[in-house]
Chains A and B, each alone.
Chain A
Amino acid sequence: MRPMTVTTKVAALVAVLALAVPVAGCGRRAADRDRTDSPAGHQETTVTTADPRAAEDALDELDALLGDVESALTEADAAPADED
């Protein structure tokens, strides 16, 4: 491969810089947008939606409790009356 001349090297460097600056700018703009969209930036629009997760958790816990009830009643029914 032929060695690059000084002119070629400078041209290559300029080309690289020309590409790098806009890319970096893009990054900054994206970062800025992220910051302003964040809750700290107070620009986020809050949309209230029905989030059923709390209810789902409560129903799951209810199922677990009903399992405990079932076990306790089964144990009560299985206990011997003996000769009392």
Chain B
Amino acid sequence: MGISTRICLASVLAALGVVATAAPASAADPLSDLKAAVTARIDLRLAALEKDLVTINAAIHLTDEHRSQLSTVVENATAGLGELTTSVADRTTLAEVREDAASMINDFRVFLLVGPQVRLTVAGDAEQAALDKAQEAHDTLATRVAEKKAGGADTTAAETDLAEMQTAIDGARADLAGQVEALLAVVPGPDRVGIQNSVATVRLSLGSARVDLRTAAAEGRSVLAFLQG
């Protein structure tokens, strides 16, 4: 068990009030108490996974591939935690239950990884759909501006807006490239900080893509105003 895992597990057990040295005198059966506490924590994770599954099924912009990948992640975690619940119930020593508590965290990372994988993939695929739509809008606007120009209109400002729209679209494309795939490639493990950093990097990139897409939409509106003017 790594140091970070030990620290993490210790904090969990402390939060549960089941650290052996600090056990209340009234605790008649520390093993039962620990089992109940760990089982409650597993149930929290199972409930979170159930919500994740609802999110996956409700997300309209998820690609089929990502929906399938995420469903597999959630279903595997649900099955694994179900087995862990049985394991905890069968344990006969505190040490064994502590091992299960560590497994509950390190082998599944429901809150640190699976939840963000689901929600950020949903966001990333929505951004990809927005990106495609922004490009479609840009190309349609460019055609209309070219028509106006051919008709003798001064389209200088509109062309500048179009160029800025394309720059923003390209920026969003670069922000988004490979982010969801990288996130889905992260697997649970004892490296809490490593997982946290991976998730944070993807979240940051999706945030930048959102800003770029907003810029693209604003530039597109300017061009549209010119065409309608």
Residues of A whose CB lies within 8 Å of any CB of B are: 48-52, 54-56, 58-59, 61-63, 65-66, 68-70, 72-73, 75-77, 79-84
Contacts and interface: CB of A to CB of B under 8 A. Distances in A.
User: Mostly helix, strand, loop or mixed at chain A's interface?
Assistant: helix
Q: Lowest 4 A-B CB distances belong to which pairs?
A: A72-B123, A58-B137, A84-B112, A76-B119
A76 B111 contact: no
A82 B111 contact: yes
Nearest to A75: B119
Given A55-B137, A55-B144, A58-B136, A66 B111 contact: no
Interface stretch (B19-27, B67-75, B127-135): B127-135
Nearest to B210: A69
Contacts of B61: 65, 68
Nearest to B116: A76
B120 interface: yes
25 contacts: A48-B147, A55-B140, A55-B141, A55-B144, A58-B140, A58-B220, A61-B133, A62-B217, A66-B217, A69-B123, A69-B213, A70-B210, A72-B59, A72-B122, A72-B126, A76-B123, A77-B203, A79-B119, A80-B111, A82-B110, A83-B11, A83-B41, A84-B105, A84-B111, A84-B192
User: Mostly helix, strand, loop or mixed at chain B's interface?
Assistant: helix
Contacts of A55: 137, 140-141, 144, 220, 223-224, 227
A50 B148 contact: yes
Contacts, number: 113
A66 B213 contact: yes
Which of A63, A69, A79: most chain B Cβ within 10 A? A69
Interface in B58-110: 59-61, 105, 109-110
B140 A54 contact: yes
Contacts of A63: 217
A52 B228 CA distance: 7
Contacts of A51: 144
Contacts of B129: 65, 68
Contact of A73 (B41, B123, B137): B123
Nearest to A69: B126
B214 interface: yes
Contact of A52 (B11, B119, B120, B224): B224
A76 B224 contact: no
B123 A58 contact: no
Contacts of B31: none
A69 to B, nearest CB: 5
Given A54-B140, A84-B109, A65 B130 contact: yes
Given A81-B112, A84-B111, A56 B224 contact: yes
A60 B188 CA distance: 40
A75 B147 CA distance: 43
